[in-house]
Structure 1
Amino acid sequence: MSRSITITNPAELHNPVTFGYSHVVDAPSPDLVVIAGQYGSNPTGAVDSSDFAAQVERSFANLGTALAAAGLGFQDVARLGTYIVDHDHTKLEALLAVINRIWGNQPPAQTLLGVAALALPDMLFEVDAIAVRP
């Protein structure tokens, strides 16, 4: 996978890859694309499922659609913001499964926030992104 960014995880810091993120993403280009929060919605905006893992899958599919609209792909993502309602280890594992499938051992920088609620009552997960145009 060719990237417009360089991922670095300094040996002096803990290995964050097992937690689904990287410490440093160097974006040499100032051409950034910001993707708003994507959630497990269908084209009408309704949440498709009450299942957390299904919402994560759909959220990342929607993120992929948003990236493609800008002529980009997952390989161009430099940073993720992830938001989990009532965060716990089981939900983290569901998120990590998707991140590992998409990015393998070079995930983007990420901040995960456990939150009490999101914009809509049925939302359990949301992801936003910053990508770099090659």
Structure 2
Amino acid sequence: MPRAVTLIRSTALSDVAEYAYAATAPADARLVFLAGACPLDEEGATVAVGDYAGQAARAVENMRTALAEAGATIEDVISTRVLVASDRQEDLVTAWEVVRDAFGDHDVPSTLMGVTVLGYDAQLVEIEAVAAVLDS
């Protein structure tokens, strides 16, 4: 199935970023807006308490599930926002590395943010995403 997302890289901007700077989708693409994927198990309990990498991995897993329910995959994601409850850059990087690795070569535009607190008890990571799908 053809993909709707086109990643755009810039030679005029720093190549230090581990993601494309922009992405587009054609006008006939169906956009899928995901709620923040949280590190929750099937019963709604926060997993990997105190573990940024573990929570990021579970949030990615839950994001993949939500994408599948909408008829999309991780390769259809057009942008992400990764929220990390910490003021320490190393905690943000720990969560980011898990998310980056999950996306592999599909390095969508992303924003990584440190926040004060997230919505669930002991929650450290949340991933927001938008996907674009060409329905056939």
Give the TM interval when normalised to the shorter protein.
0.7 to 0.9
Aligned to 1:31: 30
Which residue matches 1:71? 71
| 1:71 to partner: Cα distance | 1.1
* 3-state DSSP of counterpart to 1:62: helix
Please report the TM-score for the alignment, with normalisation by the length of structure 1: 0.88
Distance 1:53 1:103 in 2: 15
What is the alpha-carbon distance in structure 2 between the residues aligned to residue 16 and residue 75 of structure 1? 22
Q: C-alpha separation between the residues in 2 aligned to 1:126 and 1:100?
A: 14
Match of 1:58 in 2: 58
| Structure 2 residue identity aligned to 1:39 | C
Contact 1:16 1:22 in 2 (8 A): no
Taking structure 2 as the reference length, the TM-score comes to 0.86
Deviation at 1:102, TM superposition (A): 2.4
Match in the other structure for 1:109: 109
Contact 1:17 1:106 in 2 (8 A): no
- Retained in 1: the 8 A contact 2:46–2:121? no
Inter-CA distance 16–76: structure 2 relative to 1 (3 Å threshold): farther
User: In 1, are the aligned partners of 2:92 and 2:114 still within 8 Å (CA)?
Assistant: no
Report how far residue 30 of structure 1 moved: 4.1
Quick one: which amino acid aligns to residue 25 of structure 1? A
- Determine the C-alpha separation between the residues in 2 that align with 1:79 and 1:68: 16
Q: Deviations over 1:33-88 (max 9, x none)?
A: 00100111001211012111110000000000000001110000001011001143
Dislocated runs of 4+, deviation >6 Å: none
- Give % identity: 28
The answer to whether the 8 Å contact 2:57/2:99 transfers is no
Moved more, 30-39 or 88-97: 88-97
SS at match of 1:3: coil
Ranges in structure 2 where 5+ consecutive residues have no aligned partner: none
SS of equivalent residue, structure 1 residue 49: coil
Q: How many pairs were matched up?
A: 132
Aligned-partner Cα distance in 1 for 2:100–2:53: 14
Give the distance between the partners of 1:98 and 1:59, measured in 2 at CA: 10
Aligned to 1:12: 12
Unaligned runs of 5+ in 1: none
Matched-pair contact (CA < 8 Å) for 2:75–2:106: no
When residues 46 and 33 of structure 1 are mapped into structure 2, their CA distance, relative to the original with a 3 A threshold, is same
